Amino acid sequence: MPILFAPCRYLRDTLHFLHFGNAAVTIPARVLIIAGSDSGGGAGIQADIKTVTMLGGYAMTAITALTAQNTIGVQRVMPVPADMVVAQIDSVVRDIGVDAIKIGMIGSAEVANAVADYLSSPSFAHLLSSSRKRGPISQPESHEQAPEMGARFDKSDDRLPIVFDPVMVATSGSVLADAATIAAFGRLMRVATLTTPNLPELEALGGEAAVLDSGSALLAKGGHATGAMVEDTLITPDGGVIFANPRIDTRHTHGTGCTLSSAIATGLGQGLPLDRAVERGIAFVRAAIVHAPGLGQGSGPMGHALGRAPFDEGER
């Protein structure tokens, strides 16, 4: 039987990448995601990784819980032991380093306290200082800047950007945090640059004053409100700004909170000011909703790739 050798249509690009492999490298922003796994791929670390990658960052993970879930609901949850969560964080920080952190589904009060302990520790501060001695960070493409909105907030010039999405209930309605875990969220807010609750989560956290008193800025997401417009409100010690956009009529919104917080963390890791990172994050979420693939029988996943296959497009 004759053997045919078909030329690889991707060979040209492969050789191009190899040829320039020794050129100066601009390192992408390194974003560590501390969150749970969504077996359906629409939310959790799966959505986080896709978001960070699409926005030009490098995603790393510390998995806090395994879930058996789909677009209809969450069938089972298995928390990861706290020491294993911390071990994952420490492993990537010691070797790869980190420019921003996103905290999502935390799994248990024990994990929440362990993560807060680690992120507040002198050893983490030392590792962080060492990891920042490296090349330039890849910047997002320039866009027309919005007018100054009084919401450019940096917790400290030397502090690592940390975005905390206090996940309590999945889009499907399944509970993902018990009362003890929610009570421990206060410690995570105290290490966070920004906390991003939806309206029910904000109420459970004690309201706007409770979040701001922790030292974190607040992004109150308005998707659960009614009306033709969705209003997301960013509040910092310098003031606030409302991002208002027309509501998109769709059931494919699984993972919107995960996606938004990861998008913001990526922007902060790339050096964007807080209001600009939030603005870009909201725009990305809306684009991903519009490009949802229409999968599942319930709250379907978004289209993080925005209907594109970037590698194949390079061949055209």
Report the chain (316 residues): mean pLDDT per 10 consecutive residues. Answer: 52 50 72 97 97 98 96 93 98 96 94 96 89 61 44 55 89 72 91 96 93 97 92 94 96 96 98 97 97 95 92 70
Q: What residue type is assigned to position 254 of the chain?
A: H
How far is CA 219 from each of CA 79, 93, 208, 248, rounded to the nearest angstrom? 27, 27, 10, 20
Catalytic, 257? Answer: yes
Catalytic, 294? Answer: no
Domain spans of the chain, in order of start: 29-133+147-307
The one catalytic residue among 221, 259, 269, 300: 221
pLDDT of residue 149: 41
Catalytic, 256? Answer: yes
The one catalytic residue among 64, 71, 181, 253: 253
CATH homologous superfamily for the domain 29-133+147-307? Ribokinase (3.40.1190.20)
The one catalytic residue among 36, 257, 267, 296: 257
Catalytic, 255? Answer: yes
pLDDT of residue 183: 86
Of 144, 100, 132, give the one whose Cα is nearest residue 266: 100
Asked if 38 and 46 count as a contact pair (C-beta separation under 8 A), the reply is yes
pLDDT of residue 85: 98
Report field, pTM of the whole predicted structure over 0.75: yes
The one catalytic residue among 255, 269, 300, 303: 255
Catalytic, 56? Answer: no
Catalytic, 253? Answer: yes
User: DSSP code of 299?
Assistant: S
d(CA 45, CA 52): 10
The one catalytic residue among 56, 71, 181, 258: 258
Containing H/E element for 66? strand 58-69
pLDDT of residue 22: 52
pLDDT of residue 131: 72
pLDDT of residue 133: 53
pLDDT of residue 312: 83
pLDDT of residue 58: 98
pLDDT of residue 222: 93
